[in-house]
Amino acid sequence: MNGVLRFDALVCGYGDTMVLRGLSGSAGPGRVLGVLGRNGVGKTTLMRALAGFLPLREGTLTLGGHDLSQVAPHQRLARGMAYAPQEDVVFGDLSVQENLWLHLDDRDPQRYAACLQAFPRLGERMAQRAGSLSGGERKLLSFTRTMGLRAALSLLDEPTEGVQPENIERMAALLRARKAEGAGFVIVEQNLEFLLAVADDLMAIDHGECLLKGAASEFGRAALEAHLMV
């Protein structure tokens, strides 16, 4: 599978309220699509739709040329897609170690070596209940698990929320390393500095519609910041 994610004219929402209104985009191998916008404009709805937790009313969604519209969320990892949600990022009653190895058949420590080197406190807390970690530490655990899955395409919803600045820099370095290996990402993020450090392409949305889309190098910082203002 080549790992190219394509979504075209997506329409979906909650009940009778349509949040996404014809949204289109793509993310390919070795590239990051960064999604930005004010709170409540449809960014997380987009990620939930891509991950399969919201049914599409209209539009198409493919990964590597294969239709995902009828593929259940828990089956998408086998198709090459991983997902780190904004909320409920860990299984709180399980240990850090159990969170990392859940649903994985192998226990190859190399899966997590780079992340645990970057975030040594996680390695020190393997036996600790994940729910007792701080909010930022839970985000790091979710990020580490998703990176360790080594999916062709990963969806990261607000991965830096609550994370300390030095760890955000390490997250960016890890993402760039995975990009160099050919992995693709869609990242929703309010931290513009982080997004500009990793994104190749950007999409700004408002009220479920695309206001801006193109290569990250095309846009000035001020224009992007305007799409984050409340």
CA dist 33 and 212 (Å) reads 12
Report helix, strand or coil for 195: helix
β-strand pairing of 201-206 with 32-36: parallel
β-strand pairing of 81-84 with 153-157: parallel
Token pair of 13 as six digits: 């929402």
pLDDT of residue 146 exceeding 90: yes
More confident residue, 173 or 107: 173
pLDDT of residue 214: 92
Mean pLDDT of 131-138: 94
Report helix, strand or coil for 139: helix
Contact 36, 196 (CB under 8 A): no
What is the CB-side half-sphere exposure of residue 155 using CA atoms within 13 A?
28
pLDDT of residue 33 exceeding 80: yes
Mean pLDDT of 50-57: 94
- List the domain boundaries for the chain: 5-226
Q: What is the DSSP letter of 217?
A: G
Contact 4, 26 (CB under 8 A): yes
Options 3.40.50.150, 3.30.450.20, 3.40.720.10, 3.40.50.300; which CATH number does 5-226 get? 3.40.50.300
**pTM for this one?**
0.94
Query: Residues 168-219: pLDDT tens digits?
Result: 999 999 999 999 999 999 999 999 999 999 999 999 999 889 988 999 988 8
pLDDT of residue 230: 46
Contact 50, 186 (CB under 8 A): yes
Task: Determine the straight-line distance between the first and last CA of the chain, rounded to whole angstroms.
Answer: 40
Query: Residues 5-18: pLDDT tens digits?
Result: 999 999 999 988 88
pLDDT of residue 39: 86
